Amino acid sequence: MGRPANGLLDDFLGSPRKLTRVTIPIPLLPRALRWGGVVLVAGVICYYSIFAIPPETPAPDGVSLPTWRHVLAYFGLGLSLAYALSDRPLSRRRKMILVVAVATGYGAAIEVGQAFVPERHASLADVVINGLAATLSLAWYALESRARFVELSATDR
């Protein structure tokens, strides 16, 4: 018999001694492009929150369409901020605080701006939703801990 009872399982799953940390290669775009993405996302949020006339939406049975739009917008803003900060020499904790603070602060500023637009209304509930959506984007840092950022240069084509 000479083989331990869990030997077959080790062959299937891999011996704990053989396990290595899996890294995920993620292209690291030039800093200007990453921050350009943040500005683009923020600009789209600003346009649709301040300048575009909101469409009429029927009263929902569940979560309203505008709420889902807030979640999607500020989740996207948080992700773009997290990616833009990828190569910054800050602790993960500071990056996380920065992402949530900037995205939530931007959402609060947008809500203040909406108070001056006749077709819009400012809402503290929207600020909270924006902050929660930005907090959801912190899932990026679970991925980032396994990431291996690969810098792209002008010669990579």
Q: Tell me which DSSP letter residue 155 carries.
A: T
43 close to 77: Cβ distance less than 8 angstroms: no
**Residue-range domain boundaries for the chain:** 24-53+65-148
Q: For the whole model, what pTM was predicted? A: 0.74
67 close to 93: Cβ distance less than 8 angstroms: no
**Angle, vertex CA 75, rays to CA 72 and CA 81, nearest 5:** 135
User: What are the b/e assignments for 55-77, b being 16+ CB within 10 Å?
Assistant: eeeeeeeeeeeeeebbbebbbbb
Q: Going residue by residue through the chain (157 aa), what tens digit of pLDDT does each one get?
A: 555 555 555 555 555 555 566 777 778 888 899 999 999 999 999 998 888 776 665 555 655 667 778 889 999 999 999 999 988 898 889 999 999 999 999 999 998 988 888 877 778 888 898 899 999 999 888 887 777 777 776 545 5
Decide: helix, strand or coil at residue 131. helix
CA separation for the pair 118, 12 (Å, rounded) = 64
φ and ψ of 82, to 5 deg: -60, -45
125 close to 111: Cβ distance less than 8 angstroms: no
- The dihedral over CA atoms of 71, 77, 83, 85, expressed in degrees to the nearest 10, equals -130
133 close to 75: Cβ distance less than 8 angstroms: yes
Q: Distance from CA of residue 97 to its chain's centroid?
A: 13
